[in-house]
């Protein structure tokens, strides 16, 4: 098999990490705007813990509030990105720009006008929009009033928001991703769903309940969307990455099976329309009693996704027992350091073959077209004489792109496209810093938002341009 002629080569960003101007033109704050840049960032889910997310402190820096100024720079940025030859671009819409508190009955016209303008720009260069409706964002008002996605009330509000956009953009947007990385609700619940914990409660139950509400919302959005335009295509969005067993000990292998299942649960429901058998015992063991009605189950069954989109940064590794093994950070959680993977520049482990393994795992399991909607290397770059010689990023991209092409050519995986994450430098979710850079476009900005904000093409810009122009062939040269 060859890469499809209409293979989607592109890049991806999110509103929360780029737009800034968080109170402009009627927008109100979201959960993400409350998360400060400090080392408590990802742990900050207990209401009684420091930092108190509901009472921002003057001394803290809040990257969600300034992003990379994309609210103002989108025209120039899209123009520069179009020089890469990309034919697709994934961005997210900020719920609180459209329904600032989440509870309005009429949308904010200024918010809609902003996304109209982004679509106009993309149109100008023949770039297909891939739109995420919720990329780690929920209006702060809904966090305060309902504890975010922990409450069922939020479902109808989200569906209203989605319907408004799907109606307005029925002729302009074909590919919709209702939620970014739904499995992140299990790792970073405040960012993934505006969910805060209460001391002494069964917080794991709250996380799965919030996930169930997102699954229902996802299904209801698909139901509404297919009525608006039957050609709409909906995708899941899973933070993927095969979990390896640390050894061939069957106990380690089974631990890896269980870890993969935890990761794939939400995608399983989105693809198959029902919770898998394996989860019943886990829920029993953890005393998780989901509030799930017969109607809920019928809704899930009737409205499944059309494609499986996912992010891939690294594989994971696990063992059955805590053997005092070295751990390392990965996307949203920690995992064992895999002794077979060389240490690389960048915090997360670098495993290009792991992408091919993951593509095979997902296609074997789901038999739906796959779509890589995030992949990239986050690390520090140096701007020297207006240039960035990011050979490490070029190596990362080359090896990952090689593996995705081999997955298509040799393994027969149907792949819709490849969107590089953080195609333009943006503020990192896990670290909050822009210093963890992903882009092929460098943004001259500091972690506190200062700097000239000028954009510079890195060496990886020209590398990716060549990859796209050659339909991937240049990675084998
Ligand atoms: C994914 C998210 O989890 O990983 C992105 O969808 C995020 O929003 C990306 O930026 C990389 O993670 P980080 O923590 O380096 O920003």
Q: Write out the DSSP string of 380-391.
A: ----BTTB---H
Contact call for residues 308 and 237 (beta carbons, < 8 A): no
Report if pTM > 0.95: yes
Distance of CA 33 to the CA centre of its chain: 17
Contact call for residues 67 and 23 (beta carbons, < 8 A): no
Residue 239 Cβ < 6 Å to ligand 1: yes
Q: Residue with the nearest Cα to atom 14 of ligand 1?
A: 430
End-to-end CA distance of the chain: 20
Check residue 305 and give left, alpha or beta (phi > 0: left; psi -120 to 50: alpha): beta
Annotated active-site positions, please? 181, 374
d(CA 117, CA 120): 5
d(CA 259, CA 278): 12
* Ligand 1 centroid from CA 429, angstroms: 5
When pLDDT is cut at 50, 70 and 90, the band that residue 47 belongs to is low
Residue 309 Cβ < 6 Å to ligand 1: no
* Ligand 1 centroid from CA 424, angstroms: 13
pLDDT tens, position by position, 95-108: 999 999 999 999 99
Which domains does the chain show, CATH number per domain? 8-476 (3.20.20.80)
pLDDT tens, position by position, 221-261: 999 999 999 999 999 999 999 999 999 999 999 999 999 99
Residue 14 Cβ < 6 Å to ligand 1: yes
> Quick one: average pLDDT of 377-403?
97
Contact call for residues 250 and 320 (beta carbons, < 8 A): no
d(CA 232, CA 87): 18
Distance of CA 473 to the CA centre of its chain: 27
> Quick one: average pLDDT of 148-165?
98
| β-bridge partners, 310 | 238, 372
| β-bridge partners, 237 | 309
364 phi and psi, to 5 degrees? -60, -40
């Amino acid at each position: 098999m060859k890469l499809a002629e209409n293979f989607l080569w592109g890049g991806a960003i999110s509103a929360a990490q780029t737009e800034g101007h968080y109170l402009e033109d009627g927008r109100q704050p979201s959960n993400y705007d409350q998360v400060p840049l400090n080392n408590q960032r990802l742990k900050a889910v207990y209401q009684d813990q420091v930092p108190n997310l509901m009472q921002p402190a003057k001394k803290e820096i809040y990257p969600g509030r300034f992003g990379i100024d994309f609210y103002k720079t989108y025209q120039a940025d899209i123009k520069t990105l179009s020089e890469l030859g990309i034919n697709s671009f994934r961005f997210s819409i900020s719920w609180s720009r459209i329904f600032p508190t989440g509870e309005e009955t009429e949308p904010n016209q200024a918010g809609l006008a902003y996304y109209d303008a982004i679509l106009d720009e993309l149109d100008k260069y023949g770039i297909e929009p891939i739109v995420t409706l919720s990329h780690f964002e929920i209006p702060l008002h809904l966090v305060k009033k309902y504890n975010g996605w922990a409450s069922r009330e939020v479902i109808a509000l989200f569906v209203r928001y989605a319907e408004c956009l799907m109606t307005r953009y029925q002729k302009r947007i074909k590919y919709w991703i209702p939620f970014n990385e739904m499995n992140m609700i299990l790792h970073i619940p405040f960012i993934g769903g505006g969910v805060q914990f209460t001391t002494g409660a069964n917080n794991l139950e709250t996380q799965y309940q919030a996930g169930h509400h997102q699954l229902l919302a996802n299904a209801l959005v698909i139901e509404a969307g297919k009525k608006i335009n039957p050609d709409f295509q909906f995708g899941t969005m899973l933070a993927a990455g095969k979990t390896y067993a640390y050894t061939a000990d069957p106990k380690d292998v089974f631990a890896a099976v269980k870890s993969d299942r935890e990761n794939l649960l939400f995608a399983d429901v989105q693809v198959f329309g029902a919770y898998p058998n394996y989860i019943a015992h886990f829920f029993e063991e953890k005393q998780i009693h989901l509030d799930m009605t017969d109607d809920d189950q019928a809704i899930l069954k009737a409205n499944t996704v059309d494609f499986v989109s996912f992010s891939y940064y690294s594989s994971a590794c696990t063992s059955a027992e805590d053997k005092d093994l070295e751990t390392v950070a990965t996307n949203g959680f920690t995992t064992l350091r895999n002794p077979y993977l060389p240490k690389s520049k960048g915090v997360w482990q670098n495993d290009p073959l792991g992408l091919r393994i993951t593509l095979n795992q997902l296609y074997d399991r789901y038999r739906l077209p796959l779509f890589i909607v995030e992949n990239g290397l986050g690390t520090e770059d140096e701007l020297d004489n207006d240039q960035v010689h990011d050979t490490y990023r070029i190596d990362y991209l080359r090896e990952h792109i090689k593996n995705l092409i081999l997955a298509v050519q040799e393994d027969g995986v149907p792949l819709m496209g490849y969107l590089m994450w953080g195609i333009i430098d943006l503020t990192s979710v896990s670290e909050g810093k822009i210093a963890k850079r992903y882009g092929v476009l460098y943004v001259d900005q500091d972690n506190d938002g200062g700097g000239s904000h000028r954009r510079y093409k890195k060496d990886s810009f020209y590398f990716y341009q060549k990859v796209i122009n050659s339909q991937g062939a240049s990675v084998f040269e």
